[in-house]
Structures are given as C-alpha cells and as structure tokens.
Structure 1
Amino acid sequence: MNHHNACPAGTLLDQAYFRCLLAQMDQSAAGRLITTFSEETQRRLTLLNWLLGQQDWFQASLQAHALKSTAASLGALGLQRYAAKLELACLAQAASCAWGYSRLLEPLAGRTLRRLSALLPHRATV
C-alpha cells in the first residue's frame, strides 16, 4: 500500500451533495448531524483499532463497512473510499494493509469533519 497521502483535497468531499443535504434541514439539525457523525466516527475508529489488535477480522470488517456507509450518506468520499479498503483488507485478513488503512482513517476523518463543519451555515463547530 503506497497511498500515504490519502485522498487529494478534491476528492475529500462531494460538496454539492453535502450542500443539497444541508438545504433540506435547518442549521440546528445540520449541526447535530455533524456532531453525531463526528462522535460515531471516533467511536468506530477506536473500536476498529481494538478489533484489529484482537485480530477480529469479521467484526472489524463490519465496523469498516458501517463507517463506509455513514461516510457515503454525507458525501464524505475519501473516508468512504478508505473505509471500503479497510473493509476488504479485514475480509482478506491482510493485517499489514488493514493497519495501514486504519492509520490513514483518523487524520482523514479529522480533515473530513473540518471540511463538513466549514460548509455549515455560520460555520458551526464540531
């Protein structure tokens, strides 16, 4: 795996999709959506690291799949892409690849959440 600079800026987020999603809700709901996504993502990443340490490949693949799906629902393309790669690595029980993708996900999640927050009206914080 030679993708250490995960996800160029242009593919981090489908901004048009996210803005369309925001247009369907008020500012308070949008803020809650981002807060919930942030908290859920952090919980999943923590659990994923623990599951990888336990070599529980099946449960880790399920968590990666859930992260992939949640990211997709917000247009978080980069996070979706790397969660999918982690899911496949877990299913293949490819430990070094799984750990590599896992290490990329946390900073990628941080960048994604900052970008999502910046798109909220009045720049609500996470």
Structure 2
Amino acid sequence: MGHAGAVHEALPSFQTSKKKKQLETTKHRRSTRRKRGQDMVMKSQDKEDLDHAVGVGDEDDDDDEKAEVERKIEALQRIVPGGESLGVDNLFEETAGYIMALQYQVKALRALSTFFERLDKEKTKLGG
C-alpha cells in the first residue's frame, strides 16, 4: 500500500465516519472537563463551537482555520517521504506509519548505543 521509495509500511485504514469522530471528541471533552471538576467553566473550544453555531466571526475564522490546516498538511507532505504525491487520507496513514518506523529506528539506535557502551566498559576493565 506504500509508495515508491517508502521506508515504512502503511498502516491499515483508520477511516471512521465524521459523525463518529465528532461524537468521540465531544465525549472526550465532556469527560475531561468532569475529571477536572470544571463543569461550570466554559473551555475555549466550547466557546469557539458556540460562536461557530451562532455565526460570530464565522467567515474570518473559517478562512484562518482552513489556511492553518492547509499549511499543516503542506508541512506533513514535505516531511513524510513521498508525501507530496498523496491525498490527505493517504497522507495521514503514511504519516502514522512513518512515525512508527522512526520510533523503531530510535529504539534500535538506543539498543546499539547501550551495546557499544557496555562493550567499551568491558574493554576498559580488561585493560584495553
């Protein structure tokens, strides 16, 4: 499922319905607020949601938000190998796979580093 030159495997699709994601986000926001005992305090995201529903600053905020999302997508496309040729859904899948590949590389490098440090200590103990 990857692309030419990819150094990692793509993950299976994580697509869920937009409605389900919105519901999960709302549930998480509510449970987080309850956990912190802030039921009476309106979070900035809730205020933005309320403003959006009422139409306060709608067009400017939408334009700013779209520009910010586009900027972030372009940054991901530059970072992820082969990202420029991917659509957004595939870009996110590839990004997840790329991050996992990087995590495995870090883990391998740490293991190598530990191995060579121990080897160097043994060499020093033996007078070498």
Q: TM-score, normalised by structure 2?
A: 0.30
- Which gives a bigger RCO, structure 1 or 2 (Cα 8 Å, sep 6+)? 2
Q: TM-score, normalised by structure 1?
A: 0.30
